[in-house]
Structure 1
Amino acid sequence: MQNFSNEHKSEPTAQLTHLDERGAAMMVDVADKAITKRTAVAGGQVRMSLSTLEAILAGNAPKGDVIGIARIAGIMAAKQTANLIPLCHPLPLSQVLVAVTPDRELPGFQIRSTVTIKAETGVEMEALTAVSIAALTLYDMAKALEKSMQIENIRLISKTGGKSDFRGDAG
């Protein structure tokens, strides 16, 4: 069991930007923030047997083009993030890139999303949503070959623009 000390506690509304003065959830007002170019990169992976990976790469999946459909699903998902996550702003995305890359050492696929915008708020959630839905779509497209695939390690790799930059792992 984790021990949480009082030294890390603060006033809830002082730290939580999505709560109003009464503690009710709200969408943050970004109208006074600077419009800047913002980019977020997210990653994840789908682990599977080597035989499933080889079948997908050979084009032998029962549902068809697993990689292409997963990539398009990720792009579409990024554009729908505000409809899926309640307090996200609807955003006019400039670019959404989704790469689904085979990795025989995993074995499986590495998924990477890069989302760019010129706006008052960032696109981390859009990048993470793109990776998540691409991974779920890959699973759905290949589950007839293997039901024990694992979706793993979905994370923000980096973000630039706005008030602060972030650089996590090399992805």
Structure 2
Amino acid sequence: MTELTHLDPEGRVRMVDVSDKQSTLRRALATGCISMQPQTLQHILSGQGKKGNVLETARIAGIMAAKRTPDIIPLCHPLMLTGIRVDFRPDTENNCIHLEAEVRTLSPTGVEMEALTAVSAAALTLYDMAKAVDKTMEISRIRLEEKEGGKSGTFTRRSL
């Protein structure tokens, strides 16, 4: 098993030094899901909520969160992100919205945390904007699906 990189040999927390790593194209894809009552999903999809377009507001929140990940998650490096995409796939059969975030950079370290943070913030924003009509919504299955680039290479959870 690989050792934890954010601990020094004495067990103290540290920010990993990436100054000797090459800047390469790195990409990460994360997903999540928010389940809700059928009428809540229809309310969101109508785009007519009192707070405005729920999905577009959540998209902006996800993009902003990816950019601010080092301010939220301790020990994350500030990165120049070259691309952020946040998408939603409504699922009327299961009364949920599937979320997906893809983040890219040309940096010496990966963007897994940025993609996961984008999905998390987008899901939380969906909850916030619809909680007046449904407090039973449930955010689940936030996970890394793919990552490319860097020393550890490619990771794929599933085929897309």
With normalisation by structure 2, the TM-score equals 0.94
Return the alpha-carbon distance in structure 2 between the equivalents of residues 19 and 126 of structure 1: 21
Deviation string, structure 1 residues 33-54 (Cα, Å, up to 9, x no partner): 1211000000001101111111
Aligned to 1:169: 158
With normalisation by structure 1, the TM-score equals 0.89
Within the candidate set 17, 29, 51, 2:5 is matched to 17
- Percent identity (aligned): 53
Aligned to 2:80: 92
Higher mean alpha-carbon deviation, 60-69 vs 120-129, is at 60-69
Deviation string, structure 1 residues 42-76 (Cα, Å, up to 9, x no partner): 00011011111111111232322100000000000
1:29 aligns with 2:17: yes
Instruction: Report the 3-state secondary structure (helix = DSSP H, G, I; strand = E; otherwise coil) of the residue aligned with 1:15.
Output: coil
Return the alpha-carbon distance in structure 2 between the equivalents of residues 126 and 152 of structure 1: 18
Instruction: Report the 3-state secondary structure (helix = DSSP H, G, I; strand = E; otherwise coil) of the residue aligned with 1:148.
Output: coil
* RMSD, aligned CA: 1.4
Whether the aligned pair in 2 keeps the contact of 1:128 and 1:154 (CA below 8 Å) is yes
Aligned to 2:129: 141
Deviation string, structure 1 residues 76-103 (Cα, Å, up to 9, x no partner): 0000000111111010100110002211
Aligned residues: 159
Listed as ranges, the gaps of 5+ residues in structure 2 are none
Deviation string, structure 1 residues 97-149 (Cα, Å, up to 9, x no partner): 00022111221211100000011100000000000000000000001110000
Listed as ranges, the gaps of 5+ residues in structure 1 are 1-7, 9-13
Aligned to 1:158: 146
Rg larger for: 1
Aligned to 2:109: 121
Return the alpha-carbon distance in structure 2 between the equivalents of residues 51 and 142 of structure 1: 11
Q: Which amino acid aligns with 1:146?
A: D
